[in-house]
Amino acid sequence: MNARPRIVFLLAGLSIMTAGASAQSLRSLRQQEADNIALAREAAYTSSVCGAPIGARIDWSSASSWPEGESLAAACDGALGAIETICRNDRARGGKIRSFVCAGDGAGPSLSGGTFRYGASPGGDGYSSSLDYLQSSL
């Protein structure tokens, strides 16, 4: 068997093995797109409450075991709500947060420099834990 048929055979096998994963990947990509849009919309509202732009993104690399069909952005919404509460009470304090990272690793709230990161858990919203954390950290 020369090299050319062997390569074609290997490519055909690879194509068959990934066919099932492609359908799931498309579904995952659509969910990610919907979550990215939802987080951007929520972060825009948070920015308006705080009177300053707050960049936001989802750390998809942290969400490899996130349940399919559950919104990661929705699980991080409470953490954004906690930022809004801080801004409503003291804009200067809230203004220390310049970016928000929504993660799917269950690590909870953390702050580094001007970046607030919330590691969500499925079914949670993060408001209380984020508010408590921010009140003691800012």
Domain assignment present for residue 3? The answer is no
- What is the model's pLDDT at position 21? 43
- What is the model's pLDDT at position 18? 39
Domain assignment present for residue 14? The answer is no
Ramachandran angles phi, psi of 105, nearest 5°: -105, 0
- What is the model's pLDDT at position 26? 86
Domain assignment present for residue 101? The answer is yes
Q: How many domains does the chain have?
A: 1
Domain assignment present for residue 71? The answer is yes
Domain assignment present for residue 5? The answer is no
pLDDT, one tens digit for every residue, the chain (138 residues):
555 544 434 344 434 443 444 444 788 889 999 999 999 999 999 999 999 999 999 999 999 999 988 999 999 999 999 999 999 999 999 999 999 999 999 999 999 999 999 999 999 989 999 999 999 999
Domain assignment present for residue 90? The answer is yes
Predicted TM-score (pTM) of the model is 0.81
Residue span of the structural domain in which 49 resides: 32-137
Domain assignment present for residue 27? The answer is no
Three-state SS sequence of the chain: CCHHHHHHHHHHHHHHHHHHHHHHHHHHHHHHHHHHHHHHHHHHHHHHHHCCCCEEEEEHHHHCCCCCCCCHHHHHHHHHHHHHHHHHHCHHHHCCCCEEEEECCCCEEEEECCEEEEECCCCCCCHHHHHHHHHHHC
Domain assignment present for residue 66? The answer is yes
